[in-house]
Amino acid sequence: MIDFYTWTTPNGRKVSILLEELGLDYEVHAININQGEQKKPEFLKISPNNKIPAIVERDTGLSLMESGAILVYLAEKYGKFLPTGQAGRARVMEWLMWQMGGFGPMLGQTHHFLHFNSGQSKYAEIRFSEETKRLYSILNNRLEGRDYICDNYTIADMSCWPWVARYEWQRIDLADYPNVRTWYKRLLDRSAVQNGYHIPRNMGEIPQG
Ligand SMILES: N[C@@H](CCC(=O)N[C@@H](CS)C(=O)NCC(=O)O)C(=O)O
């Protein structure tokens, strides 16, 4: 059994999608980051960076923060969605790191400056909007002739998909990135992705691309 601490955000959904894909038993603990619950001392013991997502494994007592680390840990432990061969594993790690270091953080800033605080800073709006479009182009190029980001469906796909699900907040028209759109819809067809999206609570219809 895994205790899963999360909220209705892309970083949380990466992990809920993997938990669903693996069919694991887990208990959801909603941490309302809009009400500052991530700053409570009891949560700090589990997540030293005061952010969701985090997991605690009941049988081992292991607690982990950082969505990328959680994805790698669970994929390795259950032997799915991360190749064991050195080259295949490296390729998935490459795209997972691309998501963790670029696609997620930059799009997160885009949400702040274009969606939540539009009009506050023209400079930031242009900077993050341009970078968002650049990153979508990179993903679109990578997906040319491919069903998934790497050779098979992996944690690299699961890490990027919930960020693309917020394309409206990013003022992105997926028609401009046809390979991303086809891939987005391919994953959207998976019941584990749909179930994972609605953790910790149902947020209405998932953007259809
Ligand atoms: N690099 C971290 C980022 C986690 C993160 O930014 N979580 C956000 C929600 S998506 C959060 O907890 N924000 C609350 C805050 O910043 O106070 C990861 O991938 O797990």
Which domains are present in the chain?
Answer: 2-78 (3.40.30.10), 86-190 (1.20.1050.10)
In this prediction the pTM is 0.97
Instruction: List per-residue pLDDT tens for the chain, 209 residues long.
Output: 999 999 999 999 999 999 999 999 999 999 999 999 999 999 999 999 999 999 999 999 999 999 999 999 999 999 999 999 999 999 999 999 999 999 999 999 999 999 999 999 999 999 999 999 999 999 999 999 999 999 999 999 999 999 999 999 999 999 999 999 999 999 999 999 999 999 999 999 999 99
Which is nearest to 192 in space by CA: 150, 145, 155, 146?
Answer: 155
Chain centroid offset of residue 110 CA: 15
| Cβ 37 under 6 angstroms from ligand 1 | no
Ligand 1 centroid from CA 53, angstroms: 7
Query: Is there a contact between 168 and 97 (Cβ–Cβ < 8 Å)?
Result: no
Tokens read off for 164: 């693309």
| Cβ 52 under 6 angstroms from ligand 1 | yes
Tokens read off for 139: 């993903």
Query: Is there a contact between 2 and 19 (Cβ–Cβ < 8 Å)?
Result: yes
Query: Rounded to an integer, what distance in angstroms lies between the CA atom of residue 183 and that of residue 151?
Result: 13
What pLDDT is stored for residue 168 in this prediction?
98
Ligand 1 centroid from CA 188, angstroms: 23
Query: Rounded to an integer, what distance in angstroms lies between the CA atom of residue 49 and that of residue 37?
Result: 13
| Cβ 47 under 6 angstroms from ligand 1 | no
Number of residues that make up the chain? 209
Of 51, 163, 203, the one to substitute when testing ligand 1's pocket (max ligand atoms within 8 A of C-beta) is 51
Beta-bridge partner residues of 55: 4, 64
Query: Is there a contact between 149 and 155 (Cβ–Cβ < 8 Å)?
Result: no
